[in-house]
Amino acid sequence: MMKKTKSLRILAAGLCLMSLLWGCQRYEPEALQRESFPETGEQQEAEAPETASAETGEQPAEIQQEEIEIENQLQREPVKVKGIYLGANAVGVSDFMDRVIQRIDETELNAVVIDVKDDFGRITYQMEGVPLVDELGAVEVKIGDMPGVIRKLKDHDIYCIARIVAMKDPYIAEQKPEWALHLGDGSLFRDNNGDAWVNPYKQEYWDYLVDVAKAAGDLGFDEIQFDYIRYCTERGIDDVVYDQEDTQGRDKIAIISELVNYLTEQIRQEGMFVSCDVFGTIIGSPIDAQSVGQDYTAMAEAIDYICPMIYPSHYASGNFGLEHPDREPYACILGALEKSATELAKDRTDGQPQAIVRPWLQSFTASYLGEGNYMEYNAETTRQQIQAVYDAGYDEWLLWSASANYFYDGLLSPEEAEQEAQQIAESRAALPPETVPVQETEAQETDADGLTEELREALENGQLSESDAAALTQDGTPLIITE
């Protein structure tokens, strides 16, 4: 029975690896990424902007923006963030934002992440001061009065994070194909959705990202958060050709790390914090790190906050010893963050700062996993995930829902949160110094060549790209993400 259980876990690990290599979507399947806002139950406050307009007669805020002056102080003041993501279409409706701000005032929430440059490469409001934005027509107004939105958030002491999608930029890739990824025949590389991606080696694009970030800072954003700051992993990516004058011998990890360092250096000079979203599976996994170009500990040395996407729905059976990770949100989040603590501790050196870990938590139901593999996410699962963050020794978190579907009754009031913080501080003070939770894992069965049977078959059948296959066997040992 033990051998059968191990085999199932190994297969699950392989499936988890496959899911990373096959997908370029950020978090949820396409169906869950649409702006389909909840209309019933506890979450009525987050109804769709379109529905709200139909019922109230209110139209999205006018494109003409109200002038606003927000002093950009170079003295950065860190905030222990407890935040939510708000898509641009939702933010563009003032009535919706009023209800969200009320919810934030009533709960422990203190921050929002807002799209400034979205998944399609479009600037979501009438941005000023970036010539290339105007030249390329990159603006697609979804938030008519962004200055007014920022002012209202600031009036309620809400920390403002600007989400800027990096390498997945189909608009710029189409407008400036010389910056895009190309196949051997000269055509643009496109992912499964037909979207083109930007070539990370094009440093002119780095400056474009910096200019967009600075413009967001001038408007009053406190932090710039880069998403999709990585390579695509879908089929065909290994057919992309690169100019040796661009690469200069740098591999995926080297160029993404260099990009992150460059962005951070430029943006910190403007008085803003810098954060990056990363795949949770890169933590302690060289194969995943090489596939996407994200080195967890290296990136943590460069930025202020690192935000691993550790949604339980994104882990296959066997991870952290769980048969169905999505059905055990507390154990899954705890396992992922204990692994984070262990990896960062290994790389920690005196005098070398490390980013604060601020994980993304799941606020959506992953019904696409199939019957028996998922559960309905609600207020209770929200609280369980947050508790796991604290139990792992971390303090900050973000909730993700593409449809702004949040379970506010799973959050504490400001007063309750203050009491909880004091209890956590007292509990941690009683722990021995340098206490780092380490999760023991069960050894994996492998064949003589160092690979599990399932992964060796995947290699033979061509289910892995050549570069990923090489990374998998680089040291003659199995690099399998199961713990």
pLDDT digits (tens, 9 = 90+) for 187-212: 999 999 999 999 999 999 999 999 99
Q: String of b and e for 345-358 (b: at least 16 CB within 10 Å)? A: eeeeeeeeebbbbb
Maximum distance among all Cα pairs of the chain, rounded to whole angstroms: 69
HSE-CB for 329 with a 13 A CA cutoff = 24
For residue 392 the two structure tokens come to 């792992």
What does the angle CA 435 – CA 439 – CA 442 come to, to the nearest 5 degrees?
155
**In percent, how much of the chain has pLDDT > 90?**
70
| pTM tops 0.85 | no
**pLDDT of 439 above 70:** no
Higher-confidence residue: 338 or 451?
338
Higher-confidence residue: 114 or 454?
114
pLDDT tens, residue by residue, 206-239? 999 999 999 999 999 999 999 999 999 999 999 9
pLDDT at 75: 66
Residues facing residue 287 across a β-bridge: none
pLDDT tens, residue by residue, 420-431? 999 999 999 988
pLDDT at 471: 44
For residue 109 the two structure tokens come to 């929430």
Closest CA to 124 of 219, 48, 195: 219
Please identify which residue in the block is written with the tokens 């882990």.
Answer: 315
- pLDDT-derived band at 381 (thresholds 50, 70, 90) equals very high
Q: What are the residue ranges spanned by the domains of the chain? A: 2-472
Worst-scoring range by mean pLDDT, 46-55, 90-99, 272-281?
46-55
What are the two backbone dihedrals, phi and then psi, of residue 362, each rounded to the nearest 5 degrees? -90, 125
pLDDT at 158: 98
* CATH number given to 2-472: 3.20.20.80
**pLDDT of 278 above 50:** yes
pLDDT at 26: 55
Q: Is 409 exposed, middle or buried (0-12, 13-18, 19+ CB in 10 A)?
A: middle
pLDDT at 465: 52
**pLDDT of 416 above 90:** yes
For residue 13 the two structure tokens come to 């690990």
pLDDT at 432: 81
pLDDT, mean of residues 367-377: 96
Q: Please give the Cα distance from 478 to 259 (Å, whole number).
A: 29
- pLDDT-derived band at 270 (thresholds 50, 70, 90) equals very high
**pLDDT of 71 above 70:** no
Amino acid, single-letter form, for residue 113: V
pLDDT tens, residue by residue, 137-150? 999 999 999 999 99
**pLDDT of 126 above 60:** yes
Q: Please give the Cα distance from 381 to 389 (Å, whole number).
A: 13
pLDDT at 76: 78
pLDDT, mean of residues 45-71: 38
pLDDT at 455: 46
Q: Please give the Cα distance from 362 to 90 (Å, whole number).
A: 19
**pLDDT of 6 above 70:** no
pLDDT tens, residue by residue, 79-113? 999 999 999 999 998 899 999 999 999 999 999 99
Between the CA of residue 390 and those of 230, 337, 338, 384, 427, what are the distances in Å? 28, 10, 11, 10, 11
Between the CA of residue 201 and those of 4, 24, 181, 430, 471, what are the distances in Å? 46, 19, 10, 48, 21
pLDDT tens, residue by residue, 150-179? 999 999 999 999 999 999 999 999 999 999
Q: Please give the Cα distance from 107 to 423 (Å, whole number).
A: 18
